[in-house]
């Protein structure tokens, strides 16, 4: 498959298990509206095909111009809240979308303004689940940034927040949980009898990079993929194998005898891998939080005479702001940053000339549409074939551009 297109979602032998409804919490309204438009487009094509082959089928609300459900979570003056559904969800296949890291939303408590934290978003999610699970045929949660996903294992006397949250949702009646690039997908072992799908965005990264940069040479002499730490190794290996290039890894040498700001200080960044001199380097990870480790990786790569540094992360949180990234970009330590639109990105980030967005709305729409038909996602949404097709197309377009340039000269 070269891309996700409408014709790939004609489920001629399968109707939806129930009418589709998409309930977007206030934290991800913009993303949900894009997803809704894609599903409407998919299903316009599906309906034409189904009508040609299966006359008289009851589509049960299949052909609609809007699948979004109206809901809200109003708050009392004390800060307490409730979840309300503003239309019937009886018998529907409900997908609830939430962005737990959207800090832009506020609420008033005792006259003070509070910004919503991940805990607040998670509580609102549970309120909407509680308001709908008794009537809906099936309730699914789409949580791109997995709530407490970085607290997935116990290393001392501490809470296992992510596992507890997953168990709490399934105990309330949630059947499937859909997330992206979980810090450790093995967290699904906390709910082994329920659906847990973890999707990754390498194809969207490839699209964004190729759209931005028309002059990459994709081979081991000119390109290398780097993991900024040990935990991102699997992502880097998969990305490098698809591109057919080498990969490398940084690891942090820490001083475990000291603790600074709650962490062991980093003594040095050590590099394992082939040379990066005069190469384009793609650094890939799951989250940019403060961005310190990613920026230090970029600086280390430039000190090793990398030609170009491209940073790819699924989630760009930028918890310490953008000034440090502005400074490192101005100094030439990296060329641009690619993140997805699965989490909130403020306008000041979108206006940066070093920022590129990898749009995930069509991919997410394909996931929801496929799960609503209770069909397998493995064959349709496996990114390897699409990545290979995109690379082949890019190389062919580059070859034609080079031939045209030669003729012009």
pLDDT digit string, tens, across residues 308-333: 999 999 999 999 999 999 999 999 99
Confirm if 202 and 391 have CB atoms less than 8 A apart: no
Burial 116-151 (b: 16+ CB within 10 A, else e): bebebbbebbbbbbebbbeebbbbbbbbbbbbbbbb
Q: Is the entire prediction scored with pTM above 0.85?
A: yes
The strand ranges marked E within 351-403 are: 355-358
- The string of pLDDT tens digits covering residues 5-63 is 544 555 656 778 899 999 999 999 999 999 999 998 888 766 555 555 554 445 556 66
pLDDT for residue 57: 47
Neighbours of 290 (CB within 10 A): 13
pLDDT for residue 55: 42
pLDDT for residue 2: 41
**Tokens matching residue 248:** 């490398």
Strand-strand pairing, 195-199 and 176-180: parallel
DSSP 162-220: HHHHHHHHHHHT--EEEEES-S-GGGGGGSTTSEEEEE--HHHHHHHHHHH-S----ST
pLDDT for residue 6: 46
Specify the DSSP class assigned to residue 91.
T
- Phi-psi region for residue 259, left (φ > 0), alpha (ψ -120 to 50) or beta? beta
pLDDT for residue 106: 92
pLDDT for residue 60: 54
Neighbours of 380 (CB within 10 A): 15
pLDDT for residue 405: 60
Positions of the chain with pLDDT lower than 70, given as ranges? 1-13, 45-63, 261-263, 379-381, 402-409
Specify the DSSP class assigned to residue 260.
B
pLDDT for residue 1: 39
Confirm if 166 and 191 have CB atoms less than 8 A apart: yes
Confirm if 104 and 344 have CB atoms less than 8 A apart: yes
């Amino acid at each position: 498959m070269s891309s996700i297109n409408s014709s790939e979602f004609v489920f001629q032998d399968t109707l939806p298990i129930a009418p589709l409804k998409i309930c977007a919490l206030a934290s991800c309204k913009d993303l949900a509206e894009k997803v809704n438009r894609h599903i409407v487009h998919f299903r316009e094509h599906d309906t034409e095909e189904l009508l040609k082959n299966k006359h008289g089928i009851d589509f049960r609300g299949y052909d609609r111009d809007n699948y979004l459900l109206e809901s809200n979570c109003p708050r009392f003056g004390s800060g307490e809240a409730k979840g309300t559904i503003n239309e019937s969800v009886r018998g529907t296949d409900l997908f609830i979308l939430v962005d737990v890291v959207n800090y832009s939303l506020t609420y008033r408590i005792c006259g003070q303004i509070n910004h919503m934290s991940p805990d607040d978003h998670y509580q609102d999610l549970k309120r909407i689940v509680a308001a709908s699970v008794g009537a809906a045929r099936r309730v699914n949660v789409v949580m791109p940034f997995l709530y407490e996903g970085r607290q997935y294992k116990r290393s001392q006397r501490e809470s296992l927040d992510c596992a507890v949250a997953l168990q709490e949702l399934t105990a309330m009646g949630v059947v499937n949980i859909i997330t992206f690039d979980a810090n450790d997908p093995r967290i699904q072992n906390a709910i082994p009898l329920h659906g847990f799908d973890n999707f990754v965005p390498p194809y969207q990264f490839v699209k964004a990079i190729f759209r931005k940069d028309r002059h990459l040479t994709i081979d081991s002499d000119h390109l290398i993929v780097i993991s900024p730490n040990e935990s991102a190794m699997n992502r880097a290996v998969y990305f490098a194998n698809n591109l057919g290039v080498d990969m490398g890894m940084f690891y942090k040498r820490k001083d475990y005898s000291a603790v600074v700001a709650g962490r062991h200080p980093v003594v040095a960044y050590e590099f394992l891998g082939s040379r990066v001199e005069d190469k384009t380097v793609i650094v890939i990870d799951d989250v940019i939080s403060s961005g310190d480790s990613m920026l230090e990786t970029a600086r280390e790569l430039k000190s090793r005479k990398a030609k170009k540094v491209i940073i790819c992360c699924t989630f760009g949180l930028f918890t310490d702001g953008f000034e440090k990234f502005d400074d490192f970009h101005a100094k030439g330590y990296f060329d641009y940053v690619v993140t997805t639109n699965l989490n909130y990105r403020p306008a000041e980030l979108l206006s940066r000339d070093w920022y590129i967005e990898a749009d995930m709305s069509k991919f997410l729409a394909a996931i929801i549409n496929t799960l609503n038909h209770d069909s397998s996602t493995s064959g349709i949404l496996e990114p390897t074939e699409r990545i290979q097709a995109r690379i082949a197309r890019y190389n062919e377009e580059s070859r034609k551009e080079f031939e045209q340039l030669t003729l012009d000269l």
